[in-house]
A and B are shown apart, each in its own frame.
Chain A
Amino acid sequence: MGLREQDIDSILDVYPAKVKRNRKKHILLRDTALETQEIEANARTIPGIISNRGCAFAGCKGVVLGPLKDFVHIVHGPIGCAYYTWGTRRNKARIEDPKQYFLNYCFSTDMQESDIVFGGEKKLAGMIDEVVETFHPNAIAVTATCPVGLIGDDIQAVAREAEKRHGVPVMAFNCEGYRGVSQSAGHHIANNGLMEHVIGRGDLEEPPTRFAVNMLGEYNIGGDSWEIERVLRDIGYEVIAVMTGGGSFETLKNAHVANLNLVQCHRSINYIADMLEKKYGTPWLKINFIGINNTIQSLRNMAVYFGDAKLQERTEEVIAREMSRVEPVLEQYRKICQGKTAFCFVGGSRGHNYQGIFAELGVETILAGYEFAHRDDYEGRAIIPQIKINADNQNIPELTVEPDKKRFRMKVSPEKMAELQEKIPLCEYKGMIVEMQSSSLIVDDLNHFETEAFIERLKPDIFCSGIKDKYVAHKMGVPSKQLHSYDYSGPYYGFKGAVKFAQDITMGFVSPTWNYITPPWKNKPLLKGDVQKEEVQNVGLYTKRT
C-alpha cells in the first residue's frame, strides 16, 4: 500500500528539474532499519509552488503575541495584514478583568500611500496615545508588517518614547513578513521580545508552591490548556504562566519563579526554554498532552521530576479517576476508527503530537509533516549543532542571556539532572521521525500539488491539516479535520479532549454523507454482490465506502 522511492519520483516528475531536486530533499520515506534519516527543512519556499506557509508577521502577531489578552496589539502597516489576523486562530482566554481583555479587537494604523511616502512613525505614536487614553491596557505590542521595515520607520524608538511618556510597557516587534522563510521566524522574534521585556518584570521572588510550572508553546486553541490546567491543578500543580494561550502580561511577568517549564510545542519555544534555563536555572520537560497515553506519560514524568511521594500518589489517583471516566466512552469510537489511515500535516509540532492519539484510536498515520518546522523537530535535538546558519535564518536577531544575578537558582544539580535525563525527556526532544512506522511518508512544507497527488495515491481515510487545504480533501471525497483551529471544535488535549477528538474524528468516518457520493444510477452491477450486501446490512446506516 505504501509508496516506493520510484513512486515518489514519478509524482515529482511534474516539476521542473530544479524544483524536483529541491522537493525530493523535503520528502522522506521512513525506513526503521536506518539509524538516522535526514530531511531538509526551514528552507526557502519555492516561488509559484502553492505552499501553506505564512510569514513572520503571522508567526509573531498571529500566533505567539495574539493570545496575550491584556495587551492591545497594534499592527503597524496597511489594513490587510491586521484584518487577516483578526480572531482567526481561535485562541481562547478567560476574561478575568473585562477592562483588560482585548482579544476581540483588531487595531491597525491602516497606512495609506502618504504614510508610505512620508513615513508612519507619527501616526503610530498618535495611535499609541489614543489607545492608552481609551483603554489603559496593561501593555501594548506593536507589530510591523512588510512596508514598515522597507520605509525605515523606527518602531523601536517610537515604542521606547511612548513607554516613557505613558509609563505603560510598550514593545515593538520587527516581524516584517519578508524576514526568514516562514512563520517560524516570527515565533522567534515574538518570544525573544517577551523574554527581554516581560518575563522577570514582575516582583514575585518565590513561587506560591513548590510544584509551580509554566506551560510553554501552548496556545489554548478551542480551550486546550483549560483542560490541562484542570488536571494539573487537581494533582497539586500551580500553573504560573502559559506562553501564550489565555496568557497575559500580568502572569507572564512572573514566569521566572516556576520550578519547571513544560514544553508542548517544541518548534515555537525550545530556544526560550533554553534561555529560561540559562537565566533562571529552570529546566524544561518535553511533554505532550494530546492523547491518553501521552498525557499520562507526561504527568508521570512531571512527578518523577519533582520526586515527591505525595505528588506521585495524587498523580496516579487522578489518572485512575480520569481513565475510568474516559475509557468506556473511547472504546465505542475505537471500534469505528480501527484500521483507518490518516495524513497529519500541521504547523511545527502537531504533525507529530497528534500521531499518538491516532494510534490509540487504531488509526495509522501514513503521511506526516510540518509547515514550518526545523530539522530538529523531525530528527531530534542531536542534530542542532549540525544545522547550518544561512542567509535566511541569519536575519533574526539572536538574543543571548546571562544567568540572572539575583534570581538564578539552579533547580536541579548537574548530577541529579543526568540521573533524571535517564528517565525522562528533560531538556530533550527526539523529534518526529523516530516514532514513525516504516514506509510511512514524511513531507516538509507539503504544497497544494503534492497534497492532491498523495491523497490520490495513498487514499487516506482522513486528512488533517488546515483551512486552506481541507477543501481539496473534501472535493476528493476524503473527510478532513483542521488541526490548526479544529473546525470550531475542541478542546482536544488531555482526557476530556481525547474523547472530543475521538468523537469528531469518528463523525468524519460515519457521516452518512459519504454514502451518497456515487449516485445510484452510476452503480455498476456488483460482481461479489452477496458479500457486499451482507456487510452493508450489518453496519446499517453507519457504513462508509470501501
Chain B
Amino acid sequence: MEEQAVSYRSVNENPCHMCMPIGAILPFKGVERSMVLIHGSQGCSTYMRRHISEHFNEPVDVGSSSLNEKGTVYGGEANLKQGLDNLIKIYHPSLIGVLTTCLAETIGEDIDRIGQEYLRERKMDNFPLVTVPTPGYGHSHSEGFSLAVKRILARLARKSPSHGRINVLVPNISPADLREIKRLLEIMGVRYTLLPDFSETLDAPFTSPYHKIPSGGTGLNSIREMPGAIATLQMGVTLEEGFSPGKYLEEEYRVPLFNLPLPIGLENTDTFIRSLQKVTGAPVPEILLKERGRLLDAMVDAHKYNFAGRCIIFGEPELVYAMAGTCLENGVTPVAVATGGKGAKLKTLLQTLRDRYAADAPDTGNGKGVGPVFLPEADFDIMRRTARERGANLAIGHSGGKYLTEKEGIPLVRMGFPIHDRVGGQRIFSAGYAGTTVFLDRITNTLLERKLSGYRERIYRQFYRGKKYDLV
C-alpha cells in the first residue's frame, strides 16, 4: 500500500494528535469515583481539562502536583504527596490515577516508588493508586488511553472464580456509542463488565443537587473480578504490543481474548453481534434484526449519492479503521487515511480492506486514484496536500479537520475526539446498526448539501458551456 514519507520534515504543521497524558485521563473518568492527579507543572493539566471539558461539555476535574522550578531541581516528591493528601481530603475518591508529564519524566520522577511510599506513610496500603507513565513525547493520546486501561487492570484485577460475565474493553469513543454498546449487550442478554465506561460521567444528565464526582463508571469490584470472565472482547484490532489490556488479561489470567473492530459499519456490527451470539448461543432478537434491516434499507437508498464521495479519514487508529470500513462498504471511496501516531497495525489492516473493496473499483476521481493512501504520523499540512492531489470532497474526523474546510473547501463530518468547535461531541452517535445508519446519513447529507449548493451552476457549466467538471 502506498505510504507517504513523513520524516523528511522537522515541522509538525497543524497536528492531528495530542499528547499521551490527555488520553490517559479519559479511562479514569470511566471508573467509579475515581480522580486523576497529573505529576508535572500545572499548565498541562489545565490545558487537558480545558480540552476535555470543551469536547464533552462537562466539568472535568484533574488535579496537578503543580511543580515549579524548585521541584524541577530537587524533585517533586513533596508536591506529589501533598497533592494526593489534598485530593483525598476534598474528593474522597475510591481510586486515584497518577499520570506523569514530559516534565516529570525528564527529571526522572519514580512515581511508583513515591506512590508506594505515600500509601505506606499514610497507612493506606490497600488504597488503589494507579500509576501510568505518560511522557508527552512518548506516544500519542491513543496509546495513553489504552495504557491507562491496562494499568488500571494491572492494579485491580485479582484471580477470581469464574462468574460467567464477559469483559468488554473499548477505546476512546463517545458516551453515546458507549451507551449503544451497552444496549446491544443487554439486548443480546449478555452479562458483561465494560471498561472504561464514561457514558454517565462524561455525559451526565442534569440532576439536582450537583455531585463533584459524577455517578457512574465501571465499579472497582467488577474490575477486580475481570479475570473470572468467560472471555474478553476488545475493540482494539489496531492496538500495538504492550498497549493491549486484553492481552494482559490473557497472559496473566488466561482469559481468552477476541480482538474485534469497533461496531461501526454493517460488517463490524455483524462481527460484534456474532461474537455475542457465540457466548449466549441464543438467536439474535427480532429488534436487532429490524435495526439491521433498516440500516440495509438506508444503504440501498443512499448508494447512488455515496459513490461520489471521496473522503479523507483521520483520527485515532481504532476509529479510523472502523470508519474506513464503513465508507468502503457503502461505496464511499477513502482516498487517504491518516493518523497522528505511527499506526503500524492500521497500515496492514487497511491494506486488507483495500484489497477487498477497492482493488477493482473504478476511479471516481478521473485519474486521481482509487483506494486510500495511508498517512502515518500525519499533520494537517500533509493531509491537505494529499486531499487536494487525490480529489477529496469530504473529510471525516475531529475538529482539527476544519482546517481542510477553511483551506480547501472540503466539508467536514465531525467524528471522534476532540470536537471543540461544535457542541455535542459527547453525543455523536455512530455505533451499532442504529448508529451506523445515522453516521451514514451524516455522510450522505454532507455530500448532498455540497452537490445541491452549486448544482445549477455546475450543470450549466458542464453541459451548456462544454467545460469539463468533476463528477461531484
Chain B 12-36, CB-CB to A under 8 Å as 1, else 0, gives 1111011111100000000000000
Chain B 34-61, CB-CB to A under 8 Å as 1, else 0, gives 0001001111101111110110011111
Instruction: Give Cα A490 to B137, complex, Å.
Output: 37
B68/A105 in contact, CB under 8 A: no
Residue of chain A at shortest CB distance from B12 = A110
Interface residues of B (CB under 8 A from A): 9-15, 17-22, 37, 40-44, 46-51, 53-54, 57-72, 79-80, 82-87, 89-90, 101-103, 105-107, 135-138, 140, 204, 206, 208-210, 212, 340, 403, 406, 420
A84 contacts the other chain (Cβ, under 8 Å)?
Answer: yes
A78/B137 in contact, CB under 8 A: yes
Instruction: Give Cα A81 to B206, complex, Å.
Output: 32
Instruction: Give Cα A147 to B80, complex, Å.
Output: 19
Can you name 19 extra interface pairs (CB under 8 A) apart from A45-B66, A81-B136, A475-B204? Answer: A47-B64, A47-B83, A48-B90, A52-B46, A55-B41, A79-B137, A84-B47, A84-B48, A88-B420, A107-B13, A116-B106, A146-B43, A180-B68, A392-B68, A448-B212, A468-B53, A471-B58, A475-B59, A476-B209
The 5 closest A-B pairs by CB, nearest first: A55-B43, A80-B19, A48-B83, A48-B86, A47-B83
Smallest CB separation, B305 vs chain A (Å):
31
A4 contacts the other chain (Cβ, under 8 Å)?
Answer: no
Instruction: Give Cα A19 to B59, complex, Å.
Output: 23
B66/A46 in contact, CB under 8 A: yes
Residue of chain B at shortest CB distance from A472 = B59
Most B CB contacts (10 A, CB to CB) among A109, A150, A392, A466 go to A150
Residues of A within 8 A of B46 (CB): 51-55, 58, 468
A58/B103 in contact, CB under 8 A: no
Question: Given A47-B64, A48-B84, do A151 and B206 touch, yes or no (CB 8 Å)?
Answer: no
Instruction: Give Cα A468 to B53, complex, Å.
Output: 6
A271 contacts the other chain (Cβ, under 8 Å)?
Answer: no
Residues of B within 8 A of A178 (CB): 41, 67-69, 71-72, 103
Question: Which residue in B13, B71, B137 is a CB contact (below 8 Å) of A147?
Answer: B137
Instruction: Give Cα A107 to B9, complex, Å.
Output: 12
Question: Which residue in A85, A105, A130, A147 is a CB contact (below 8 Å) of B106?
Answer: A147
Residue of chain B at shortest CB distance from A18 = B82
Q: How large is the interface on A (under 10, 10 to 19, 20 to 34, 35 or more residues)?
A: 35 or more
Smallest CB separation, B8 vs chain A (Å):
10
Question: Given A55-B46, A150-B72, A391-B70, do A78 and B19 touch, yes or no (CB 8 Å)?
Answer: yes
B90/A14 in contact, CB under 8 A: yes
Residues of B within 8 A of A306 (CB): none
Question: Given A55-B42, A80-B44, do A44 and B15 touch, yes or no (CB 8 Å)?
Answer: no
B13/A111 in contact, CB under 8 A: no
Question: Which residue in A49, A145, A146, A468 is a CB contact (below 8 Å) of B50?
Answer: A468
B12/A51 in contact, CB under 8 A: no
Residues of B within 8 A of A46 (CB): 66, 82, 86
Residues of B within 8 A of A177 (CB): 40-44, 103
Smallest CB separation, A456 vs chain B (Å):
8
Smallest CB separation, B23 vs chain A (Å):
10
Smallest CB separation, B321 vs chain A (Å):
22
Most B CB contacts (10 A, CB to CB) among A50, A55, A85, A113 go to A50
Query: Can you offer 30 A-B residue contacts whose CB atoms are under 8 A?
Result: A14-B89, A46-B66, A47-B64, A47-B79, A48-B82, A49-B90, A50-B63, A50-B64, A55-B43, A57-B43, A58-B47, A77-B102, A79-B17, A79-B137, A80-B19, A80-B102, A85-B47, A86-B15, A88-B420, A110-B15, A115-B137, A116-B106, A146-B101, A151-B106, A177-B41, A181-B68, A469-B59, A471-B57, A471-B58, A475-B206
A318 contacts the other chain (Cβ, under 8 Å)?
Answer: no
A2 contacts the other chain (Cβ, under 8 Å)?
Answer: no
Instruction: Give Cα A55 to B48, complex, Å.
Output: 12
Most A CB contacts (10 A, CB to CB) among B18, B106, B137 go to B137
Residues of A within 8 A of B137 (CB): 78-79, 111-113, 115-116, 147
A179 contacts the other chain (Cβ, under 8 Å)?
Answer: yes
Instruction: Give Cα A251 to B433, complex, Å.
Output: 57
B11/A127 in contact, CB under 8 A: yes
Residues of B within 8 A of A472 (CB): 59, 210
- Chain A positions 28-59 with a Cβ under 8 Å from a chain B Cβ: 44-58
Question: Which residue in A50, A53, A86, A477 is a CB contact (below 8 Å) of B61?
Answer: A50
Smallest CB separation, B304 vs chain A (Å):
36
Question: Given A50-B62, A50-B63, do A467 and B80 touch, yes or no (CB 8 Å)?
Answer: no
A107/B12 in contact, CB under 8 A: yes
Smallest CB separation, A59 vs chain B (Å):
9
Residue of chain B at shortest CB distance from A80 = B19
A47/B66 in contact, CB under 8 A: yes
Smallest CB separation, B17 vs chain A (Å):
6
Residue of chain A at shortest CB distance from B90 = A449
Residue of chain A at shortest CB distance from B22 = A80
Smallest CB separation, B210 vs chain A (Å):
4
B50/A467 in contact, CB under 8 A: yes
Question: Given A79-B17, A80-B18, A477-B208, do A109 and B12 touch, yes or no (CB 8 Å)?
Answer: yes
Residues of A within 8 A of B59 (CB): 448, 468-469, 471-472, 475
Most A CB contacts (10 A, CB to CB) among B87, B105, B136 go to B136
Question: Which residue in A47, A81, A475 is a CB contact (below 8 Å) of B63?
Answer: A47
- Chain A positions 123-158 with a Cβ under 8 Å from a chain B Cβ: 123-124, 126-127, 130-131, 145-147, 149-151
